[in-house]
Amino acid sequence: MYPLRNFVFLAGICFALLFLTGCRRSLSTQYGLSEGFDAPNSPDSVFLFRNLCNENDHTTLEVKSFSPSAMEKLKAIVWTPDAFELHQPETLEWIERWLAMGDRTLVYVGRDFSPMADYWSQSAEAFSNEETSEQDALFALEQQALELAKLEQLRSRIRPKTATPWCLFDHSGGIEERVLKVKGPWADSIDPSKARLFLRSHPIGYTKKILASAKKEFDREAEDTSTKAVTSTAKPTKQKPPTMPNGLPAPISIPTGTAVDYDFKWQTSDANMLKYVNGIPATDIPKMKSRLTTVDDKPLIAEVTKKSWKNSKVLVLSNSSLISNLSLTNYENLTIAKNLVDELPRTNIGFLSGSQDPIVRSDDSSDQQKGFEMLTIWPLNVVSIHAVFLGMLVLLALFPIFGRAKQLPKKSTREFGQHIEAVGALLYKSQDRFYALATIAEYFRNVRKEPTSTWAKIEPVAQNEGKSPFKT
């Protein structure tokens, strides 16, 4: 009875929670994910691009760290960092060694785009065209502004140009532009007016002239020397502030479209970028070939090759508007993604994301999780929390101390059988056999009126054998 009632109680709680919470997933803002609970539900992730690789008979896996076994196993890496190009030297050195093994492909996706902001932009446009409340459109515009503010916060930490071992990134573009005309080998397969392609930052291929300019820009000592030289030779001049006809000072105005040049503080990343450009030999400068560019020659997708890489290549994407979940809902963007998949090898394509660079390991001892660490990886990290919650419900249902107070059934005082059991217990406690027999015989003679019964004739025999101390 009680186990059934506990089961019904537990099932009722589970159905109530399911009814209250529902089965729908909320919109996720995780950037660059390719697997996990939030990946299919995030406009920012690349879950659909990874599925596209799997549908074309490619073998994919998630990359957590760089190790010797990963260097041997991985044939391609799709890297969608949730940060701009300020990577650690040991990370890029590992990739350089990996590319030098030959027949490797790196797909590097620039960060200067927010698919989440584009999602809210499309939502606001849809709300304004439909018969919905004005609050919905305003809410979408507000969310778009918040996502763009997050992106601007990331941009505020970088220079107008950043360096990687395979190319430079130019971040001096003013505002994000939608690309409506393209050219290049992949341009004939799409209609750019129907695609959703955006550009703000773009990659720049290395040449001798660009390398020299980059070394000068990232060299702190050269910057300090030139600043001191200009300061020592310049002559101070006095300029009168502009005035209005009434003699009051005129307000200071900044021409539209010009940027204010603030002093940029030197950071460790500047020394790292100087190290990257200094490490490029003049006899083996990476060569960039565009696959898809704007009409003013700003690459959207570019291929970088190098002699020392032995048929390896780096495919640089200006931003994630080309392969994000939201972008692949557009047919033209999907066509570009299919062209990109065709450039990848068939086996062992690793997907890498996150705001931090992966850990570079010298051995493979920590590549696999052990023991309870297995509960922290997909899909056990999702199942384990539900199992714990369900176990708590079972404990609450099964242990009486955690449930309602229960009343035990009361014993009836009207059952004659209980009276017989009580009298028998008292007779047993007397430890007097003859007294017990006499009591039974008296019961049969006086109560049941059966003087001829065998039990009624026991007392005289018992009395002849001796007196009982309990007899009254």
Q: Determine which helix (DSSP H) or strand (DSSP E) holds 386, and give its type and residue range.
A: helix 380-398
Domain residues for the domain of 19 are 1-26+370-404
Q: Is residue 248 part of a domain?
A: no
398 in the same domain as 453: no
Residues 92 and 17 in one domain: no
What is d(CA 437, CA 181) in angstroms, rounded to the nearest whole number?
117
Predicted TM-score (pTM) of this structure: 0.67
Tell me the mean pLDDT per 10 residues along the chain, length 472: 49 48 62 87 92 92 90 94 89 94 94 92 84 80 92 86 92 87 93 93 93 85 52 50 49 40 58 88 92 94 93 94 93 94 92 91 62 64 79 77 69 78 86 85 84 75 50 46
Is 111 found in the same domain as 12?
no
What pLDDT, on the 0 to 100 scale, is given for residue 98?
Answer: 95
Triad 369, 74, 168: Cα angle to 5°: 110
Whether 70 maps to a domain, the answer reads yes
Check whether residue 384 and residue 424 sit in a common domain: no
- Do 307 and 341 fall within a single domain? yes
Distances (CA, A) of 374 to 164, 362, 379: 35, 22, 9
Residues 305, 376 share a domain: no
Residue 84: inside a domain, yes or no? yes
Query: Based on the domain organization, do 304 and 194 belong to the same domain?
Result: yes
For residue 341, is it within any domain? yes
Distance CA 113, CA 321 (A): 7
Statement to judge: residues 121 and 19 lie in one domain: no
Gap between the terminal Cα atoms of the chain: 50
In a domain, 428, yes or no: yes
378 and 432 belong to one structural domain: no
Percent of the chain whose predicted confidence (pLDDT) is above 70: 75
